[in-house]
Amino acid sequence: MAARSQGNLTISFGLIAIPVTLYSATQSSGGSISFNLLHRDCGSRLKQQYLCAKEGCVVERDEMVKGYEFAKGQYVQFTNEEIKAFDEVGTHAIEIAEFVELASIDPVYFDKSYYLAPDKGALKPYALFTEALLQTKRCAIGRWAARGNSNIVMLRPAGNVLVMQQLRFATEVRAPSELEVPKQEVKAAELNLAKQLVEQQSSDTFDPTAYVDEVKGRIEAAIQKKVEGEEISISEPVVATDSGKVIDLMEALRASLQKNQSGKSSVSKLGARKAPKRVEQSAKPARKAGRR
């Protein structure tokens, strides 16, 4: 399915304005799975109601106002118009403030991701801006006002396409120093084995297709069985127990290295045995086709 545009923006880069089209960079694989609350006796959907904590009566939407709790049990009320006045006015523009090295931005600040494509007549300045980022190995930091909010965004090239990464504000990210982790000396021999283990399980690039949502797959399979009138069996979860034994780190590292090495050997031997069978199976239909 072709990507659907979410709107049009303009990148303001010095005195250059680059019209772009906004696309979401992520999508739900087949839609998210959600469950509704039903009445167990008749299977009908349940409706949500709001009750007044003081009077115990049902409150309709036209009787509701929003409030801020400034002290325990004490609120100040705001109308929708007053809250709407706080919103940032959308400008449909990305105002570039600075250029920084991508490695200087901690991924903990990353939020939503978007793709930016050149709008009509903007291919040349779009390509120039993208190539400048590639050549300088930097990303652009700017501001983008949308949906009443002021956002920090980062623009970076992914090949010849611009990616806009929405960033969190500093007040939204906790500092690592909030966790009191004591400094621990690392022995050289243990570090050497740990580095070998890392190298054994290393890949040149990250392949996201190698990982699937197994939980979603189980839920979808169970839903299909229910729809077809079948019963699903529920197995008891395996609970990991702490044996209380003190782990010998060196022995655990050596065992891990040995396990990985033996696993790779088994896979290579298995592949070597199976290869001739695959060749024979693919060759048989070819011979039959020739006789016909």
- The span from the CA of 138 to the CA of 111, in Å, is 19
Q: 3-class DSSP state for residue 203?
A: coil
Query: What's the CA gap between 11 and 2, in Å, rounded?
Result: 24
Tell me what the mean pLDDT of segment 129-144 comes to: 94
User: CATH number, domain at 109?
Assistant: 2.40.290.10
- Distance between CA atoms of residues 94 and 89, nearest Å: 13
Task: Give me the number of domains the chain comprises.
Answer: 1
> 242 or 198: which carries more pLDDT confidence?
198
Pairing of strands 93-101, 161-167: unpaired
pLDDT of residue 240: 58
146 part of a folded domain: yes
Give pLDDT tens digits for 173-188.
999 889 988 988 988 9
For the chain, helix, strand, coil in percent to 5 are 35, 25, 35
User: Does 117 fall in a domain?
Assistant: yes
Q: Taking the model in full, what pTM does it have?
A: 0.65
In a domain, 248, yes or no: no
Confirm whether 47 is domain-assigned.
Answer: no
What's the domain range around 162? 5-26+92-172
Residue 162: inside a domain: yes
Does some domain include residue 245? no
Tens of pLDDT, residues 185-220: 988 998 998 898 888 888 887 887 887 778 778 788
Tokens (6 digits) for 158: 């992914």
**Would 153 be classed as within a structural domain?**
yes
End-to-end CA distance of the chain: 41
Which of helix, strand or coil describes residue 189?
A: helix
Q: Does the residue 98 lie in any domain? A: yes
Average pLDDT over every residue of 212-238: 79
